[in-house]
Structure 1
Amino acid sequence: MEIKIGVRSVHRELVVETELSADEIEEELRKALASDKGVFSLTDTTGRRVVIPVASLGFVEIGEDEVRPVGFGGTL
């Protein structure tokens, strides 16, 4: 699943590919936001960990769970 994270005062968004479901990501985000000095962290598909203080979060965009076909062809 692709996650886009906007960080305040940073012009580029962070893009993270993770194996977590949308519900799992949302639950982690809710836990992080519940604390004033919390951090939101995700581990990507290569094992790299991204840690962002919740005070710096601008937005979190969670991609779709389903895989959509790419290209011009019809169904297989």
Structure 2
Amino acid sequence: MDIRIGITNSPREINFESSQTASEVETIIATALESESKFIKLVDSKGKLYIVPVANLGYVEVGSESTRRVGFVA
């Protein structure tokens, strides 16, 4: 699934594809916001670790879990 994270005071956003489900990502972010933790950790589909400070979190957009089609549709 595609994940897009907006950082405050930054013109760029973090965009990556993750093997985590939408509910897992939502739980990680909600828990971090409710518990006042300093950062969130997310892992992309290639194993890269993303650590984002919660204080600078602008928004998190979680894409659909559907797979992409390859080929022609008749």
TM-score, normalised with respect to structure 2 = 0.87
Aligned residue pairs, count: 74
4+ runs deviating over 4 angstroms: none
Distance between the aligned counterparts of 1:32 and 1:7, measured in 2?
16
Which runs of no fewer than 5 residues in structure 1 stay unpaired? none
Distance between the aligned counterparts of 2:31 and 2:2, measured in 1?
20
Q: Alignment partner of 1:30: what SS?
A: helix
Q: Which residue of 2 aligns with 1:54?
A: 54
Q: Alignment partner of 1:65: what SS?
A: coil
Judge which range, 29-38 or 3-12, deviates more: 29-38
Q: Alignment partner of 1:19: what SS?
A: coil
Distance 1:30 1:65, change over 3 A: same
Does structure 2 conserve the Cα–Cα contact (< 8 Å) formed by 1:39 and 1:51? yes
TM-score, normalised with respect to structure 1 = 0.85
Distance between the aligned counterparts of 1:49 and 1:3, measured in 2?
13
Identical pairs, percent = 36
Report the residue type matching 1:74 in the other structure. V
Which runs of no fewer than 5 residues in structure 2 stay unpaired? none
Q: Map 1:22-37 to 2 at 5 A.
A: 22-37=22-37
Tell me how far 1:64 sits from its aligned partner: 0.3
Does structure 2 conserve the Cα–Cα contact (< 8 Å) formed by 1:37 and 1:55? no
